[in-house]
């Protein structure tokens, strides 16, 4: 067994009751119930080595949260095998529960009317953490997350960012080897997002924790993950290096121009696909393998004041991956 995460041909199907609206539909459903099979995830496989931080990406309804719930033992799989930190999650072994933590940005475990410290003490009792180990871990979390000013305030008086920091601390008080992070920065301002990312990276480096991260903020993924798994309609679309993802789904770069005077669309389109054009700024999509020759042509033939070449945004790359998958599905 592995101390990381191993998923082999995992599927999870739900049998969902359906009925027509109105009184007639309600009566009919009493005698002849109609069901539909929903394939939340189907035949997915991936391995995550100990100490890796992997981004788990996909649109709403793609199967991310279902996969997380199977990996933590909250759902029983329809088929396939799963091992997390050397355990089968749905056996609900006490030793397994001590090895992982699930942090969901939209859920709270903090006691609303009490200070966060009370929740930390409750978790110490739940996980049977010795006092010395508890104090040592808590001191480290307080320092990393800068929690000292909020420890004795009622949770209801804390800002969203402060609550999220305390949620992380409460989830990590038992030093889990495996950390599942589901939208940990959702709703936070830019500064707090950066603070949370920095903490996650430091926790990974300090404790060599294996982390599976889902987020709609591509800045989270770019800052933390070298590898990403993309899931769509319950199946894995991509599993590999983040840099290779860009090469595969966005084989182009973006040329950003500042013009000295207006130029016609026809003249601009000779140098690349026009993404935006609002004088004096223009953005062109340029094939990656032609960047050198196109750049030379732009500089020689257009009235340039400023000129930069950059990779497309990660949001654009992911969107193109989903679009390509949707086109393939429409043709099948």
200 plus 275 within the same structural domain: no
> Domain tally for the chain?
2
Q: Which of 162, 163, 148, 165 is nearest to 200 (CA)?
A: 165
169 plus 139 within the same structural domain: yes
73 plus 212 within the same structural domain: yes
Structural domain includes residue 296: yes
167 plus 261 within the same structural domain: no
Q: 29 falls in which pLDDT band (50, 70, 90)?
A: confident
Structural domain includes residue 32: no
81 plus 225 within the same structural domain: yes
186 plus 263 within the same structural domain: no
CA gap 97, 73 in Å, rounded? 9
Q: Can you tell me which residue has the tokens 């290096």?
A: 241
Structural domain includes residue 194: yes
- CATH number for position 144: 3.40.50.300
pLDDT surpasses 90 at 87: yes
Q: 13 falls in which pLDDT band (50, 70, 90)?
A: very high
Tell me which of 97-101, 102-106, 165-169 is least confident: 102-106
Q: pLDDT for 49-60, tens place per residue?
A: 999 999 999 888
Q: pLDDT for 265-294, tens place per residue?
A: 999 999 999 999 999 999 999 998 999 999
pLDDT surpasses 80 at 82: yes
pLDDT surpasses 90 at 329: no
Final residue before a domain boundary, out of 246, 273, 290: 246
Q: pLDDT for 131-171, tens place per residue?
A: 999 999 999 899 888 899 999 999 999 988 889 889 999 99
201 plus 306 within the same structural domain: no
Final residue before a domain boundary, out of 246, 276, 292: 246
Q: Which segments within the chain are labelled E, that is strand?
A: 5-18, 34-48, 53-57, 79-84, 100-104, 178-182, 210-214, 227-232, 235-241, 252-259, 273-278, 281-287, 304-310
- CATH number for position 291: 3.30.70
Structural domain includes residue 315: no
Structural domain includes residue 279: yes
Mean pLDDT of the chain: 89
Q: Residue 1: its pLDDT value, please? A: 41
Q: How many other C-beta atoms can be found within 10 angstroms of the C-beta atom of residue 95?
A: 9
Contact 197, 220 (CB under 8 A): yes
56 plus 189 within the same structural domain: yes
231 plus 288 within the same structural domain: no
Q: pLDDT for 227-260, tens place per residue?
A: 999 999 999 999 999 888 888 888 899 999 999 9
In the chain, the percentage of residues whose pLDDT exceeds 90 is 63
User: For residue 280, what are the domain limits?
Assistant: 251-310
Q: Residue 50: its pLDDT value, please? A: 95
Structural domain includes residue 331: no
290 plus 171 within the same structural domain: no
Q: Residue 331: its pLDDT value, please? A: 46
Q: Residue 218: its pLDDT value, please? A: 85
Contact 284, 273 (CB under 8 A): yes
163 plus 147 within the same structural domain: yes
Structural domain includes residue 83: yes
Structural domain includes residue 17: no
Q: pLDDT for 173-194, tens place per residue?
A: 999 999 999 888 887 888 888 8
pLDDT surpasses 60 at 328: no
123 plus 165 within the same structural domain: yes
CA gap 220, 233 in Å, rounded? 23
């Amino acid at each position: 067994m592995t101390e990381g995460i191993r998923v082999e041909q995992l599927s999870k199907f739900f049998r969902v009751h359906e009925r027509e609206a109105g009184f007639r539909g309600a009566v009919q459903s009493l005698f002849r119930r109609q069901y539909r099979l929903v394939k939340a995830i189907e035949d997915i496989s991936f391995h995550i080595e100990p100490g890796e931080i992997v981004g788990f990406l996909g649109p709403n309804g793609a199967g991310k949260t279902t996969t997380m719930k199977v990996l933590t033992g909250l759902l029983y799989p329809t088929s396939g095998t799963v091992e997390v930190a050397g355990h089968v999650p749905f056996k609900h072994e006490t030793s397994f529960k001590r090895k992982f933590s699930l942090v969901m940005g939209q859920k709270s475990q903090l006691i609303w009317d009490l200070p966060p410290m009370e929740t930390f003490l409750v978790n110490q009792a739940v996980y049977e953490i010795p006092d010395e180990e508890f104090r040592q871990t808590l001191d480290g979390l307080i320092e990393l997350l800068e929690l000292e000013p909020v420890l004795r305030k009622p949770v209801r008086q804390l800002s969203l960012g402060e609550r999220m920091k305390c949620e992380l601390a409460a989830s990590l008080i038992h030093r889990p080897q495996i950390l599942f992070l589901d939208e940990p920065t959702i709703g936070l301002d830019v500064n707090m997002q950066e603070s949370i990312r920095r903490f996650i990276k430091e926790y990974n480096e300090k404790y060599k924790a294996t982390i599976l991260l889902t987020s709609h903020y591509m800045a989270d993924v770019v800052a933390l993950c070298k590898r990403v798994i993309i899931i769509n309609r319950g199946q894995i679309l991509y599993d590999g290096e983040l840099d290779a993802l860009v090469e595969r789904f966005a084989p182009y770069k973006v040329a950003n121009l500042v013009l000295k005077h207006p130029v016609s669309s026809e003249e601009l389109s000779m140098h690349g696909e026009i993404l935006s054009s609002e004088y004096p700024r223009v953005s062109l999509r340029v094939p990656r393998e032609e960047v050198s020759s196109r750049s030379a042509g732009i500089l020689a033939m257009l009235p340039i004041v400023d000129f930069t070449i950059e990779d497309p945004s990660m949001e654009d790359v992911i969107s193109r991956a989903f679009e390509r998958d949707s086109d393939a599905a429409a043709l099948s």
